[in-house]
Amino acid sequence: MAIQNKALSKDLIFQAIADSFKKLNPLVMMKNPVMFVVEVGTLITLILSIKPDIFGVSTVGRGYNVAVFFILLFTVLFANFAEALAEGRGKAQADTLRKTKSETIAKVRQKDGSYKEIASTSLRKGDIVRVDTGEMIPSDGEIIEGLASIDESAITGESAPVIKEAGGDFSSVTGGTRVVSDYIIVKILTDPGESFLDRMISLVEGASRQKTPNEMALTTLLAVLTLIFLFVIMTLVPIADYLKVHLDVATLIALLVCLIPTTIGGLLSAIGIAGMNRVTQFNVLAMSGKAVEAAGDIDTMILDKTGTITFGNRMASEFVPVADVSEQEVTLAALKASVKDETPEGRSVVELAHKQGVHWDQQEYDGAESIEFTAETRMSGLTLKDGTEIRKGAVDAIKNYVTAKSGSVPADLDEKATTISKAGGTPLAVAINNKIYGVIYLKDTVKPGLKERFAELRAMGIKTVMCTGDNPLTAATIAKEAGVDDFIAEAKPEDKIAAIKKEQEEGKLVAMTGDGTNDAPALAQADVGLAMNSGTMAAKEAANMIDLDSDPTKLLSVIAIGKQLLITRGALTTFSISNDIAKYFAIIPALFIIALPQLQSLNIMGLASPKSAILSALIFNAIIIPLLIPIAMKGAKYKAMTANKLLTRNLLIYGFGGVVVPFIGIKIIDMIVAALHLA
């Protein structure tokens, strides 16, 4: 892959630490209401550390205020570090991509037909350029003349070059890729700064990242909770005065910070950025975080058959004998007819025969004449040195061939060939000299492992629909073998749009893949449209995701990443809110235990003193953020299951765990604080 999963190197960590301090800028912090409140509290405790009685009489020493200040400062820095670390990984990926965007010379066609060399940065939309063997394609465009082998490893990481030519669905080229052979004439389709590579760099480094709707909704909820707890703290002051309990400002700030959901507030941005990074590490370019999030909420997947569910090449799946011929004999005959056939179909025949334990000694066909397939004969095969003729081909062609040699046609040949055709397969008859041995059943084979992947999607409540131009009988056969929930046979481009709209009218989110210009309307209509990088520019512009590897099945992985993003955010939100319970039991009794000794029964952790209880809760509140960074970056563990099961599982792990872990953590910290006489 061109976009690698960068390990947490020392340089990345040191840069994130430096960025953590830069992010202390209040204008930056205001974008995160929860952490902005913590930063304001940090500033107030800094003032108290310098002048403890600035807000009135203080019953705590300077050391207590200093301790609260440093704990709050580290709380803010840890939250900034999580965000900076996620951004740093994106910037590292962007730096890798920038290396491919060097100053390139472009040969631009002039009005008189001659070519002039200019810098690629001077190219404009509509310019016509020529790119020869070994030269870099200067910008995004479409081939209007020629055919060439293109090395796209700078973008996709795939070393094998791909063939691109004028016309059709494989005419678009990307700036930064290189022509390996021949030449092409390209029409430039983007202005400087708007190319695919420019957008890619901007997106992976987070410069264009916008908060998703769910993220904005959660941010609003956290802001409201923060405001509510601020009012709660304000009401504690008159209550404390009535009970003749003096509450210092530093203690009130500590209580506020522990009550508000600082854990998820500190990690929320990092979760979103890391989710985008995970998609990018799969060589998928998401045009927005909204697209990734939508992938996690998908209800229906619309999938093309050819190239997505099936390989797109006809492959041998069975050897069908005729008359009195055994299966072993027809398998050997098919193998003999295919040993020198280098087409995908021919290689699949040899592979299937070998899997069935049938082999043919190479010495027996050394020096044999290879008969290539032609449109006229519709046959291929071998003629051995001893004159033996081995042929395979269209059923009627083989029948005519055998009849011409005074051979007979088996009575059941047509019946077996028709059965294969009705099932959507292609029958190839096999003959040696004047005898027909049987039929090779060729079919568009379903990709291995897809049935299990579709079963996982079904377990998550996602419906899969296959679109194909095949007849209903063939479509039904492939659909059953692949394990999809439904299919649309004899589908036209407008049928895909109709299918998407029908699902959306029922309130469902729909995803689909495509690569052609005729797929563009459907990709634009779908909630998640994944376009192939090898496809047309129209398809890539209509989609909200682009797969750089041009692997249509990548949509399955994208949905899993989207699910993981939503699960991670939900899990850490659950944990953050749950662990506040332990903080209540630590701090509330500590505040009023002197005035109300009855509250001692709430001190179930047996904390040493009111001050140690407050400091311990505050320290735990700070250190839990960096401890959860790995989960925010990698994502919560994800398993395919229904929403109800997933909710139950996460409530048990992150809900119950969020209650238990702080009780243990605060108690251990309190024992250390008491032992060191810090409070």
Given a contact cutoff of 8 angstroms between Cβ atoms, the answer to whether 402 and 431 are in contact is: yes
320: left (phi over 0), alpha (psi -120 to 50) or beta: beta
Phi and psi (nearest 5°) for 258? -75, -30
For residue 285, which amino acid is it? L
Neighbours of 13 (CB within 10 A): 14
Q: How far apart are CA 543 and CA 565, in angstroms?
A: 20
Model pLDDT for residues 431-451, shown as the tens digit of each residue: 999 999 999 998 877 888 888
Q: Is 519 annotated as a binding residue?
A: yes
> Which tokens go with 292?
């990734």
Q: How far apart are CA 605 and CA 613, in angstroms?
A: 9
Q: How far is CA 568 from CA 239, 295, 631, 632, in A?
A: 39, 14, 8, 7
Neighbours of 383 (CB within 10 A): 14
Q: Look at residue 453 in the predicted model and tell me its pLDDT.
A: 83
Lowest mean pLDDT among 54-58, 231-235, 316-320, 572-576: 54-58
- Asked if the 313-445 domain carries CATH number 1.10.260.40, the reply is no
Which are the contacts of 367, defined by CB distance < 8 A and separation ≥ 6? 385
Give the three-class secondary structure for 270: helix
Domain ranges of the chain: 10-93+204-280+559-676, 284-309+447-548, 313-445
Model pLDDT for residues 85-126, shown as the tens digit of each residue: 877 766 665 665 566 555 678 899 998 889 998 888 788 899
Phi and psi (nearest 5°) for 278? -65, -40
Unique residue bearing structure tokens 């006229």 = 376
Q: Is 405 annotated as a binding residue?
A: no
Model pLDDT for residues 242-286, shown as the tens digit of each residue: 878 777 888 889 888 988 889 888 888 888 777 777 787 777 877
> Which tokens go with 234?
């304000």
Q: Is 341 annotated as a binding residue?
A: yes
- How high is the mean pLDDT of the chain? 83
Given a contact cutoff of 8 angstroms between Cβ atoms, the answer to whether 293 and 567 are in contact is: no
**DSSP symbol at 517:** G
Q: Is 345 annotated as a binding residue?
A: yes
Q: Look at residue 207 in the predicted model and tell me its pLDDT.
A: 44
Given a contact cutoff of 8 angstroms between Cβ atoms, the answer to whether 317 and 305 are in contact is: no
Model pLDDT for residues 156-193, shown as the tens digit of each residue: 555 567 788 887 667 888 887 888 888 899 999 888 77
Specify the pairing of strand 141-151 against strand 369-371: unpaired
Neighbours of 598 (CB within 10 A): 10
378: left (phi over 0), alpha (psi -120 to 50) or beta: left
- Of 222, 218, 200, 206, the C-alpha closest to 275 is 206
Q: Look at residue 329 in the predicted model and tell me its pLDDT.
A: 93
Q: Is residue 7 scored above 80 in pLDDT?
A: no
Q: Is 373 annotated as a binding residue?
A: yes
**Quick one: pLDDT band at residue 15, thresholds 50, 70, 90?**
confident
Q: Is 377 annotated as a binding residue?
A: yes
> Which tokens go with 660?
């238990």
pLDDT greater at residue 136 or residue 3:
136
Phi and psi (nearest 5°) for 76? -65, -45
> Which tokens go with 67?
């301790």
Q: Look at residue 3 in the predicted model and tell me its pLDDT.
A: 41
Q: Is residue 653 scored above 60 in pLDDT?
A: yes
Unique residue bearing structure tokens 């088996």 = 410
Give the three-class secondary structure for 553: coil
For residue 139, which amino acid is it? S
Q: Look at residue 78 in the predicted model and tell me its pLDDT.
A: 92
Q: Is 380 annotated as a binding residue?
A: yes
Q: How far is CA 185 from CA 123, 164, 191, 479, 590, in A?
A: 14, 11, 18, 42, 77
Q: Look at residue 192 in the predicted model and tell me its pLDDT.
A: 78
pTM: 0.64
Q: Is 329 annotated as a binding residue?
A: no
Given a contact cutoff of 8 angstroms between Cβ atoms, the answer to whether 607 and 666 are in contact is: yes
Q: Is 102 annotated as a binding residue?
A: no
Model pLDDT for residues 339-381, shown as the tens digit of each residue: 988 887 888 999 999 999 999 888 888 889 999 888 788 899 9
- Of 16, 542, 548, 36, the C-alpha closest to 273 is 16
Given a contact cutoff of 8 angstroms between Cβ atoms, the answer to whether 420 and 320 are in contact is: yes
**Quick one: pLDDT band at residue 397, thresholds 50, 70, 90?**
very high
What does the CA dihedral 352, 354, 357, 360 come to, rounded to 10 degrees?
130
Strand partners, 443: 315
For residue 26, which amino acid is it? P
Crossing angle for the helix pair 262-281 and 610-634, to the nearest 10 degrees: 10
Q: Is 250 annotated as a binding residue?
A: no
- Asked if the 284-309+447-548 domain carries CATH number 3.30.420.300, the reply is no
Q: How far apart are CA 640 and CA 270, in angstroms?
A: 24
Give start and end residues of each alpha helix (H) in 460-553.
472-482, 493-505, 520-525, 537-542
Q: Is residue 399 scored above 90 in pLDDT?
A: yes
Active site residues: 304
